[in-house]
Amino acid sequence: MKVYEVEKGSKGAEGLHRRERPEPKPGPREVLIRVRATSLNFRDQMIIKGGYPGGEVHRDLIPISDGAGEVAAVGAGVTQFKPGERVAGTFFQTWVDGAPTGPRAALGAPLDGMLAEYVALHEDGVVRIPESLSFAEAATLPCAGVTAWNALMVAGNSVKPGDTVLCLGTGGVSIFALQLARAAGARVIITSSSDEKIARAKSLGAAEGVNYKQFPDWEKEVLRLTAGRGVDHVLEVGGPGTLSRSMQSLGFGGKLALIGVLAGFVGDTNPFPLAFKGASLQGIGVGSRRMFEELNKAIETNGIKPVVDRVFPFEAAVEAFLYQGSGTLFGKVVITV
């Protein structure tokens, strides 16, 4: 079967190569999936550049955690799925429900990922996808979609009608958060360096946008837009590079969901603003299978359509990585298989 591999010690997209591997056979309680679409996350960029926690990849590895397709075959003892069903793999293959109890292996590193014609996954690491979504749309859910759901609806205080949510940037997690927060009846403020992207976010329901090139101290503009009160929820995808401004944007009793490191690992992380406001900092590490299933119900109930920026064919996977890494995207980048 055709696959892509990130070569051992890769430092960039030049380390991503198309290769052949034997088609996997489903073992006991395993589901063989014919992959139809995959989607990229910022994590995938870090992995091919050797900058993900844990360092460079230590073997030739099939990348990408997110993918969707149909069940081609099932192994002995499988009770949850049958051939022909439309499914996606879960980001963490062993987290079914409940609070995390320790490190878990994720697809795309350290486990082989989804950028292949076929993958064999344990049935506990597979979910059915919403009937209303295409394979390309469903492929965007396992990491970014579940992360946004966990941050807004599961961890700490859940979003409720009338809350104000601050989303940083217009990548996959932030756009999912915008859509889910609006479906929950919340007001959304979004940041971007592009007025065009802010306009697109407003077309999806954002109430206001803050151009951080125009307002370098964007937390002051967020406070102005909330009449000095601050927001109830912040989806912090920048990490230490933006954490201080996010904490200042937060209102009393608010929640800051710490998700990513898009703005780098260095910055002001003094937690005093949280203590002063009685606010909370909640670390978010994607989510469980149960969260994925809850997200799917919310998508079906509310008619949510994931925002796909561009779709690349399998043969152009390297170009897809380069495009996603350019920072010009709005939403998700998909590779069909």
For the stretch 193-208, pLDDT in tens is 999 999 999 999 999 9
In the chain, how many domains are there? 2
Q: What's the start-to-end Cα distance of the chain, in Å? A: 11
- pLDDT exceeds 90 at position 254: yes
Both 121 and 172 in one domain: the answer is: no
Q: What is the pLDDT of residue 104?
A: 86
Q: Residues 23-35: pLDDT tens digits?
A: 999 999 999 999 9
Q: What is the pLDDT of residue 128?
A: 98
Q: Please indicate, yes or no, if residue 148 is contained in any of the structural domains.
A: no
Vertex 56 angle, CA 51 and 57, to 5°: 125
Both 111 and 187 in one domain: the answer is: no
Both 271 and 304 in one domain: the answer is: no
Q: What is the pLDDT of residue 263?
A: 47
Q: What is the SS3 assignment for 65?
A: coil
**How many C-beta atoms surround the C-beta of residue 309 within 10 A?**
18
Both 165 and 244 in one domain: the answer is: yes
Both 161 and 123 in one domain: the answer is: no
Question: For residues 32 and 232, what is the distance between their CA atoms, to the nearest angstrom?
Answer: 43
Both 307 and 175 in one domain: the answer is: no
Q: What's the token pair of residue 244?
A: 């201080």
Domain boundary among 260, 283, 306: 283
Q: What is the pLDDT of residue 308?
A: 98
Question: For residues 218 and 215, what is the distance between their CA atoms, to the nearest angstrom?
Answer: 5
Residue 283: which of 162, 189, 171, 154 has the closest Cα? 154
Indicate the residue type of 54: G
Q: Please list the residues that pair with 96 across neighbouring strands.
A: none
Question: For residues 256 and 269, what is the distance between their CA atoms, to the nearest angstrom?
Answer: 13
Both 139 and 8 in one domain: the answer is: yes
Q: Residues 258-310: pLDDT tens digits?
A: 997 654 555 567 888 898 899 999 999 999 999 999 999 999 999 999 999 99
Tokens 């397709």 map to which residue? 69
Q: Which residues contact 297 (CB under 8 A, 6 or more apart)?
A: none
Both 291 and 279 in one domain: the answer is: no
Indicate the residue type of 2: K
Q: Please indicate, yes or no, if residue 149 is contained in any of the structural domains.
A: no
Both 48 and 90 in one domain: the answer is: yes
Q: Residues 53-111: pLDDT tens digits?
A: 878 899 999 999 999 999 999 999 999 999 999 999 999 998 999 988 788 899 999 99
Both 292 and 274 in one domain: the answer is: no
Both 217 and 294 in one domain: the answer is: no
The average confidence (pLDDT) of the chain is 95
Q: Residues 305-337: pLDDT tens digits?
A: 999 999 999 999 999 999 999 888 999 999 999
Domain boundary among 238, 264, 283: 283
Both 243 and 307 in one domain: the answer is: no
Domain of residue 195: give its range.
Answer: 156-283
Q: What is the pLDDT of residue 141?
A: 98
Q: Please list the residues that pair with 18 across neighbouring strands.
A: 4
Q: Please indicate, yes or no, if residue 151 is contained in any of the structural domains.
A: no
- pLDDT exceeds 60 at position 148: yes
Q: Please indicate, yes or no, if residue 291 is contained in any of the structural domains.
A: yes
Domain boundary among 249, 268, 283: 283
Q: Between 265 and 186, whose confidence is greater?
A: 186
Q: Please indicate, yes or no, if residue 296 is contained in any of the structural domains.
A: yes
CATH code of residue 120? 3.90.180.10
CATH code of residue 171? 3.40.50.720
Q: What is the pLDDT of residue 253?
A: 96
